[in-house]
Amino acid sequence: LKAGGAYLPLDPAYPKERLSYMLKDSGAALLLAQPGCSAPSFSGEMLEVDMASLASEKAENDVFTPADGCSLAYVIYTSGSTGKPKGVAVEHRQAVFFLTGMQRQFPLQEDDIVMVKTSFSFDASVWQLFWWSLSGASAYLLPPGWEKDPALIVKAIHQEKVTTAHFIPAMLNSFLDQAEMKALGDGTSLKRVFAGGEPLAPHVAARFASLLPQVSLIHGYGPTEATVDAAFYVLDPERDRDRLRIPIGKPVPGARLYVLDAHLAVQPCGVAGELYIAGAGVARGYLNRPALTEERFLEDPFYPDERMYKTGDLARWLPDGNIEFLGRTDDQVKIRGYRIEPGEIEAVLRGIEGIREAAVTVRTDSGEPELCAYAEGLRRNEVRTQLERLLPGYMIPAHIIEMERWPVTPSGKLDRNALPAPDGAADEETYTAPRNVTEMKLAQLWEDVLKNGPVGIHDNFFDRGGHSLKATALVSRIAKEFDVQVPLKDVFAHPTVEGLASVIREGTDSPYEAMKPTEQREAYPVSSAQKRIYVLQQLEDGGTGYNMPAVLELEGKLDPERLDRAFKEL
């Protein structure tokens, strides 16, 4: 940015095919990479950047090249229904408009500390990276990997005196589990928490207010095409107690929100329509996609020479002046904060050699939206392996179902409503039941988190529909059930019940310790119970009898002879 260029964030964890496409599609000329990060099929100039050595060097030529407001600031790629991601181009003036609007609405002070925890390939990172600098506040960069572990997040908030943080709603519940266990509400430094990326459930908001009553919870809404967020709603526990949905709020300063019908006429209060976003935050458009840009970025019928973005979201105005999100007009979904086009996953599936037909749907059988893929021609494990090579982790379906016959409508089209639900049960041939108390309790925790079962000890947590957020929920439940703090990385390293049970047994805080044979010897130290028995035996003049009182309640008609015979046989 100081050099006057624009940046394109590339997550090294993405599959190489996806990174190659983004580099080629964007036309990037220079690639900056940390040591160890490979550049797949990149024909431009690459510069390896060692941040540790740079920090100790003084720049010889620190020249600032100012960019005008219409210059490109960054490009962030989002899911596309055609099977390829599309790049959203945002200019400096749009980013500055949004950041200054946030500062006016939620003014930071010099003593504020913003936690930077969102991947820079996600648009919420924009305000975390730059907002604090407008007011002389500070930023704390959460160490890599800590963003997946709520226990480490709580630790960082406490130690670093963080005042401002962001969570996707799916992660917020896991954070609250840890906040409750660590009593974070007692004198916490937190002032405000932003929740965005997907709708915030009322019960989660109510729990937040109960555990952290002094902290403001702010519900944010906005697509990448509108430069991060276009609306905010500050929650009020009393006012929002009986709401079925948490509103997305009112426009950020300088933005305009319209609820329009199919003819672009304004819908009255309470009537559903499509949501459009206008104002200075509307992005330039899609990179190298003029037709798609023209389709989604329209002329504003109410403000000449300005544009508005067609979101595809259904919404309505509420009497109090807030807007309520109602759903989508197409198949696009938000899962764990990521915007996903099921059509893109379908296109990738159909491109895999050996797959004859494929479909992708979103199901809520487990209580939360999950991707479910249906494929004909390959075994599900092979399909998953191929998808992991082609798609980022958040786009891998939680369930993959092998199909032989497809349900169709009377007109011959695929009947998506009749596609089978994933039962989540393990294959009978591979199911192995738990063998001890630890594995039984752990299997039950898995079933509670995954919302399916039964779970065998060799089942893979992530093959059964688990993901990073469910893993954090599992870690919280393990801590409560076993009194052991299992690091999140151990769930990824030992993703079976058998493997995780061994970690729990070896945990330093665990009451369950593995029993190991001791060395051979002629005599062994006696336990306290054995000492007591020995003392009692000495008091009884060397007798070997020992009284262990017990009561047995027998039901039914008594047969004295059989009872007497049973005692004699003992």
pLDDT attached to residue 542 = 61
Q: State both tokens at 368.
A: 């939360």
Tokens read off for 146: 């800590």
Q: How far apart are CA 294 and CA 496, in angstroms?
A: 49
| CA dihedral angle for residue 310, residue 311, residue 313, residue 316, rounded to 10 degrees | -60
Sheet (strand 357-363) strand order: 357-363, 370-376, 399-402
pLDDT at residue number 370: 83
Rounded to the nearest 10°, the torsion over CA 534, 537, 539, 545 is: 160
Rounded to whole angstroms, the Cα distance separating 25 from 47 reads 20
Q: In 3-state terms, what secondary structure has residue 216?
A: strand
Amino acid, res. 387: L
Distance between CA atoms of 209 and 224, rounded to whole angstroms?
A: 29
Identify the pLDDT of residue 426.
42
- For residue 11, CA distances in Å to 32, 66, 92, 119, 333 come to 12, 27, 22, 8, 21
Q: What is the dihedral of CA 101, 104, 107, 113, to 10 degrees?
A: 20
Q: Residue 491 has which token pair?
A: 């769930």
What stretches of 363-460 show up as alpha helix (H) in DSSP? Answer: 380-390, 437-450
CA dihedral 308, 311, 316, 321 (to 10 degrees): -50
Q: pLDDT tens digit string along 294-341?
A: 999 999 999 999 999 999 898 999 999 999 998 878 777 777 767 788
Q: How far apart are CA 398 and CA 473, in angstroms?
A: 16
Helix or strand (DSSP H, E) at 335: strand 333-335
Report residue 459 as tokens.
Answer: 């089942």
Q: What is the DSSP letter of 214?
A: T
Q: Tell me which DSSP letter residue 448 carries.
A: H
The reported pLDDT for the residue numbered 186 is 67
Main-chain dihedrals φ then ψ at residue 482, nearest 5 degrees: -110, -5
425-450 residue pLDDT tens? 444 445 678 888 888 888 888 888 87
Residue 23: CA count within 13 A, CB half-sphere = 24
- In DSSP terms, 297 is beta-bridged to 309
DSSP letters for 494-563: S-SHHHHHHHHHT-TT-S----------S--PPPHHHHHHHHHHHHTTT-------------S---HHHH
Q: How many CB atoms lie within 10 A of CB 7?
A: 14
- DSSP summary character for residue 364: -
Q: At what angle do helices 380-390 and 342-350 cross, to 10 degrees?
A: 110
CA angle 76, 77, 81 (to 5 degrees): 150
3-state helix, strand, coil in the chain (%, to 5): 30, 20, 50
Torsions phi, psi for 299 (to 5 deg): -70, 135
Both tokens of 270, joined, read 């309470």
- Between the two ends of the chain, the Cα-to-Cα distance in Å is 87
| Pair type for strands 164-167 and 323-328 | unpaired
- Give backbone dihedrals phi and psi of 202, rounded to 5 degrees, phi first: -55, -35
Q: pLDDT at position 7, please? A: 95
pTM of the model: 0.69
pLDDT number for residue 6: 94
- C-alpha 179/C-alpha 150 separation (Å) is 9
pLDDT score of 86: 92
**Neighbouring C-beta atoms of residue 97, cutoff 10 Å:** 21
Q: What pLDDT, on the 0 to 100 scale, is given for residue 508?
A: 46
CA atoms of 172 and 159, how far apart (whole Å): 20
What is the chain's length?
570
- Residue-wise DSSP of 248-267: -BEEPTTEEEEEE-TTSPBP
Look at residues 310, 290, 287, 294 and name the one whose alpha carbon lies nearest to residue 72. Answer: 287
Residue 509 is predicted with a pLDDT of 46
- Residue 153 corresponds to which tokens in the numbers above? 């997040």
Residue type, 532: R
pLDDT value of position 50: 82
Mean pLDDT by 10 residues, the chain (570 residues): 90 87 92 83 86 68 78 90 84 94 95 94 92 95 88 91 91 84 77 90 90 94 93 91 88 94 92 94 94 94 95 91 86 75 82 84 77 87 86 84 79 75 55 83 84 78 76 83 82 84 69 59 82 75 67 81 79
